[in-house]
């Protein structure tokens, strides 16, 4: 069974540029999560989807961040415009009927 | 914001020794989970302990949970160099996981 797939794995952009991350969850998993992980810290939830509906986006900085999961499968997370402080690892996770979340390898973003 | 605090932040031991990591949290939980993260990789689920459980074992892992003290511990016995990683506790309330800051474990061969 394929795990959670994320792309790209690494991205370097200049500040004020837009960037997008893509996530393909485990087949059949209805719940999808985006997390932000700063260096040396634990992941922090940005947004949670149940199918195509965003049920918890309270930690998503909506002035520059947006996310979508149009058909309830793949999801994209976008930042526009990026700031220096957005440099971090962006993790995607998915879960099925159990409480266990399965994480992708993450996208490491560097904003210069 | 992160609910859990982990102690120690970093731990260095020799292969064969036991490693103990502690996690404290603030609010009521449904369960507590431990994850491992190798450098540059995603998180891997290790073990889940429910709020009505006090101890759980999985291979060389032993997890305890004390809900009265709002704390948990992860014990790795007979450590190996391959156990070198960051270990995170995560509390689960509803469908939300809230992670601690992690313990960076180094096991020297």
What does the pLDDT look like over A7-43, one tens digit per residue? 999 999 999 999 999 999 999 999 999 999 999 899 9
Which among A41, A44, A104 has CB closest to B42? A104
- How confident is the prediction along chain B (109 residues), in pLDDT tens digits per residue? 456 688 899 999 999 999 999 999 998 999 999 999 998 888 999 999 999 999 999 999 999 999 999 999 999 999 999 999 999 999 988 778 899 999 999 999 9
For tokens 């490491």, name the residue.
Answer: A108
List chain B residues with CB under 8 Å of A103: 35, 42-44
- pLDDT at B105 (0 to 100): 97
Q: Is residue A104 within 8 Å of A91, Cβ to Cβ?
A: yes
Return the residue in B35, B38, B42 with the most chain A beta carbons within 10 A, the one to mutate for interface testing.
B42
Whether residue A92 has pLDDT greater than 90: yes
Q: Is residue A89 within 8 Å of A77, Cβ to Cβ?
A: no
Indicate yes or no: CB of A106 within 8 angstroms of CB of B90.
no
- pLDDT at B2 (0 to 100): 52
List chain A residues with CB under 8 Å of B31: 99
Q: Which two tokens stand for residue A111?
A: 């904003």
Return the residue in A33, A37, A42 with the most chain B beta carbons within 10 A, the one to mutate for interface testing.
A42
- pLDDT at B3 (0 to 100): 60
Q: What is the dihedral of CA A106, B97, B89, A23, to 10 degrees?
A: -10
Indicate yes or no: CB of A40 within 8 angstroms of CB of B102.
yes
Whether residue A99 has pLDDT greater than 90: no
- pLDDT at A108 (0 to 100): 96
Instruction: Output the furthest CA–CA distance in chain B (Å, rounded).
Output: 41
Pairing of strands B85-93, B103-108: antiparallel
| Nearest alpha-carbon partner for B80 in B57, B60, B63 | B60
pLDDT band at residue A56 under the 50/70/90 scheme: confident
pLDDT band at residue A52 under the 50/70/90 scheme: very high
Q: Is residue A13 within 8 Å of A109, Cβ to Cβ?
A: yes
Indicate yes or no: CB of B43 within 8 angstroms of CB of A44.
no
Nearest chain A residue to B92 by CA: give it. A99
């Amino acid at each position: 069974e394929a795990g959670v797939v994320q792309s790209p794995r690494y991205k370097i952009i200049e500040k004020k540029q837009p960037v997008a991350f893509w996530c393909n969850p485990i087949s059949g998993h209805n719940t999808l999560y985006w997390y932000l992980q700063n260096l040396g810290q634990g992941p922090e939830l940005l947004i949670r989807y149940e199918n195509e509906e965003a049920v918890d986006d309270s930690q998503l900085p909506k002035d520059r961040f947006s996310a979508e999961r149009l058909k309830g499968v793949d999801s994209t997370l976008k930042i526009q415009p990026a700031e220096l402080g957005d440099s971090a690892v962006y993790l995607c996770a998915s879960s099925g009927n159990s409480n266990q979340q399965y994480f992708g390898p993450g996208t490491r973003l560097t904003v210069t | 914001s992160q609910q859990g605090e982990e102690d120690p932040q970093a731990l260095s031991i020799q292969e064969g020794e036991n490693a103990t990591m502690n996690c404290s949290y603030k609010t009521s939980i449904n369960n507590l989970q431990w994850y491992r993260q190798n450098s540059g990789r995603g998180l891997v689920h290790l073990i889940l302990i429910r709020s009505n459980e006090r101890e759980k074992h999985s291979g060389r892992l032993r997890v305890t949970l004390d809900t009265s003290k709002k704390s948990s511990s992860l014990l790795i016995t007979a450590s190996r160099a391959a156990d070198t990683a960051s270990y995170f506790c995560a509390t689960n309330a509803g469908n939300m996981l809230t992670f601690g800051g992690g313990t960076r474990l180094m096991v020297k061969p």
